[in-house]
Homo-oligomer: A and B are copies of this chain.
Amino acid sequence: MKKHNFSSGPAILPLPVFEQAAEAVRDFNGMGLSILEISHRSPEFTAVMEEANVLIRDLLNVPDDYAILFLQGGASSQFFMTAMNLLDQDAKAGYIDTGSWSTKAIKEAQAFGTVETLASSKPDNFTYIPKGFAIPEDLAYVHITTNNTIYGTQFKTLPETSVPMVGDMSSDIFSQPVDVSRFDLIYAGAQKNMGPAGATLVIVRKEALGKVKRHIPTMLDYRTHVKKDSAFNTPPVFPIYVSMLTLRWIKANGGIPAMQQKNAAKAELIYREIDRNPMFKGTVTDPADRSTMNATFVLAEGKEHLNDEFMQLCKAANCSGVKGHRSVGGFRASMYNAMEIESVQALVQVMQSFERKFG
């Protein structure tokens, strides 16, 4: 029996993707070889890379002057690579601090130039997205984390500025349309909406590169990977292949507009129940900031002792991965693209049955 997988990442992917991926591990495209043993320079895998590239360009309307890269090391490596490549020692960048990942990005960037935190919701445990802050015009870039998995918040509109942005979209890329032209660089660990762990997507405006004066090791210089189409060295073949299958699935299922609609319906369903059910309360203070990807909630006041009981009901109903991040506690329902609304309905039923039993 397949579980309802609410894991925050690595996360649910479409069932047909798992089927095709498993088959490719046995025999890839009838080659008589597993996808795990073929050369990354074989025509068969080069075609996979090209298809992934075309799908991303198509789904997100990526302008021609942007390169699409598949790297390794996760968003955590992008925290320093973005600053290393885009922020000169005597330049300034602005960061919006909306959660643990933003905080880490700020820390890593500080080694490379001047970093200004333009706004932060840290004093309120990141329960909202800061708004109305000023963005100086002299910044090299403004960095935002578009969706905060741990705290369940999401930028619903981009900050108003003519300064180019850098966006960590690890947990909401491909879930809604994005105006790529507003960004000099977008990065995303694959392991939520795009694929399994082990690949990192970077979309970068080529003209933004090569402007800093410092030495950059070859593998950390985005230009290396632009020039070699992400095959300067051996790329993570299987994670890229599974990402391509997932992108194909997104396209075949209506593209980004359809994903956005489906995600909105799932979010509405879970948040309606969180607001209605007296056993729970949402953790995000401004409902406008609520993430469509990760709904975070805790037990209502006076009910905190029922944590294990709720988790047991979840388990009995085959809902897995509902536990909140260790730094905030409570519960988190991650509802990435591949999650069907039936799974959210199953969780809502658990919440209602919990109310009947313990309310």
Contacts and interface: CB of A to CB of B under 8 A. Distances in A.
6 contacts: A5-B37, A8-B39, A25-B25, A72-B73, A84-B217, A198-B238
A228 to B, nearest CB: 11
A55 interface: no
Given A196-B237, A196-B238, A21 B36 contact: yes
A107 B2 CA distance: 50
Interface of A: 1-3, 5, 7-13, 18-19, 21-23, 25-26, 31-34, 36-40, 72-77, 79-80, 84, 104, 107-108, 111, 189, 191, 195-199, 215, 217-220, 232-239, 242, 318, 320-321
Nearest to A25: B22
A79 to B, nearest CB: 7
B77 A219 contact: yes
Contact of A37 (B10, B33, B198, B219): B10
Given A111-B215, A233-B74, A19 B11 contact: no
Nearest to A242: B36
A82 to B, nearest CB: 11
A11 B197 CA distance: 21
B9 A34 contact: no
Contacts of A242: 36
Contacts of A32: 1-3, 318, 320
Nearest to A74: B233
Given A76-B218, A111-B217, A215-B111, A234 B189 contact: yes
Nearest to A45: B10
Contact of A74 (B12, B33, B39, B72): B72
A237 B36 contact: no
Contacts of A195: 36
A74 B232 CA distance: 11
A242 B36 CA distance: 9
A69 to B, nearest CB: 13
A242 B24 CA distance: 14
Nearest to A1: B32
Nearest to A326: B41
A197 B70 CA distance: 13
Contacts of A36: 10, 13, 18, 21, 195-196, 242
A34 to B, nearest CB: 5
Nearest to A7: B39
A10 B40 contact: yes
Contacts of A220: 80
A111 B320 CA distance: 48
A191 B237 CA distance: 10
A5 B196 CA distance: 26
Contact of A9 (B23, B191, B199, B234): B234
Contacts of A198: 72, 198-199, 236-239
A36 B239 CA distance: 9
Nearest to A320: B33
Q: Which of A10, A31, A73, A215 has the most CB of B within 10 A?
A: A10
Nearest to A12: B37
